[in-house]
């Protein structure tokens, strides 16, 4: 087995950078999964970043502020967000229905969630909607965006240290490029995929506690796969494949069903979504937009795919559908609905005041994203 010489100046500088970046961070545990995580932001700081990002995103979108479809989304959102644990059940959740053909949804720290109308046909019914909203809420509860920010601070410190250590070598540019690729593939992307799986797990619990049939959680991904498109190469994918998500969600059904049986009201799959009420998407807004989501480092966390390192939100490696440990860094955001192909990733209130939000409802903060960004794209 090979060893690393800690006396090497490059290693020493990298260790110092990591220590400075993480030394004053708080260590928490993710609810339900028990995964340990390190975050450098307070909940209040996350919420402010999320609010700023949400304002920016919505300014560039067409929001559906009222009507039967809005009310349907708001009601399901409220039921799911109410099941978030403390302290996230003290957030003022805000769910917005966005008229955009993107097959996506996203979450931002502080309980800001956006749902694109383009994903509604795939969700099909209220249980499918609850699955995606639960995933977004999971990003917030697991504070994936804060982890991404913390991880990015550590990564930047380590790369800066490496840059100093290599400054006098002829291979400086080439080696730094390789280090960047290694950081992205070895740290950022795996964490992103883990965060997505963790949010899937949390979302299954929240939808079940809200009284929606948990089997619809994996059925949604089967419908997503049916939309077509090939899967990205696994090692370079920011999200787990649809097949992997389906496998994990099926494995976790015993846990989900336990919560479903304990729900006071059982809605089953609920009513079909009122897709017939979706107005034509404004010109210029289509499936190319829509990936974002709760963001860290500036962008959002989206269900279409949380991102880390500019890709998605998800930190920590996960097992059994639950996230493992690890902090991911990123610039975009996390999201729960992912693209129709195999990448998915990335967290209710209800009101008819123009936002599918829950005036003073419970919520959580963080899939996932702080920052001011437009979480678009695919999840």
Query: 96: part of which helix (H) or strand (E)?
Result: strand 94-98
Cα–Cα dist 198/32, whole Å: 10
How many Å is the Cα radius of gyration of the chain? 20
Residue 17 contacts residue 158 (beta carbons within 8 Å): yes
Among residues 163, 44, 80, 86, which one has the least CA distance to residue 348? 80
Cα–Cα dist 11/266, whole Å: 56
What are the catalytic residues? 136
Indicate left, alpha or beta for 132 from its phi (over 0: left) and psi (-120 to 50: alpha). alpha
Among residues 323, 376, 357, 366, which one has the least CA distance to residue 80? 357
295 in helix, strand or coil? strand
The pair of structure tokens assigned to 231 is: 């899967």
The pair of structure tokens assigned to 37 is: 């995580």
């Amino acid at each position: 087995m090979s060893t690393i010489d800690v006396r090497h100046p490059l290693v020493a500088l990298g260790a110092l950078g990591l220590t400075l970046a993480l030394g004053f961070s708080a260590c928490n545990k993710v609810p339900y999964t028990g995964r340990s995580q390190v975050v450098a932001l307070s909940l209040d700081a996350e919420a402010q970043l999320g609010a700023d990002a949400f304002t920016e995103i919505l300014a560039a979108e067409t929001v559906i502020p009222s009507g039967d479809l809005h009310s349907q989304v708001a009601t399901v959102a409220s039921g799911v967000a109410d099941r978030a644990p403390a302290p996230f059940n003290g957030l003022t959740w805000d769910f917005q229905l966005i008229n955009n053909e993107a097959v996506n949804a996203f979450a931002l720290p502080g309980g800001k969630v956006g749902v694109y109308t383009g994903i509604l046909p795939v969700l099909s019914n209220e249980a499918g909607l609850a699955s995606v909203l639960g995933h977004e809420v999971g990003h917030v509860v697991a504070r994936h965006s804060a982890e991404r920010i913390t991880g990015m601070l550590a990564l930047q410190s380590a790369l800066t240290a490496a840059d100093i250590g290599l400054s006098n070598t002829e291979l400086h540019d080439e080696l730094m490029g390789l280090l960047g690729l290694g950081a992205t593939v070895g740290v950022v992307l795996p964490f992103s995929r883990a965060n997505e799986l963790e949010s899937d797990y949390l979302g299954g619990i929240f939808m079940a506690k809200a009284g929606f049939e948990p089997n619809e959680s994996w059925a949604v991904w089967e419908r997503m796969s049916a939309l077509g498109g090939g899967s990205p190469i696994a090692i370079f994918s920011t999200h787990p494949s649809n097949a992997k998500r389906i496998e994990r969600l099926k494995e976790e059904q015993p846990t989900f069903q336990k919560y479903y049986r304990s729900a006071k009201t059982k809605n089953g799959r609920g009513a079909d979504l009122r897709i017939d009420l979706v107005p034509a998407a404004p010109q210029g807004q289509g499936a190319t937009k829509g990936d974002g989501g709760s963001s860290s480092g500036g962008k959002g966390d989206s269900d279409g795919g949380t991102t880390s390192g500019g890709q998605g939100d998800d930190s920590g490696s996960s097992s059994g559908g639950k996230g493992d440990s690890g902090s991911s860094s990123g610039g975009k955001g996390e999201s729960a609905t992912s693209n129709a192909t195999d990448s998915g990733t990335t967290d209710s209130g209800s009101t008819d005041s123009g936002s599918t939000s829950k005036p003073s409802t419970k919520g959580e903060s963080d899939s996932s994203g702080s920052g001011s960004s437009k979480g678009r794209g695919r999840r």
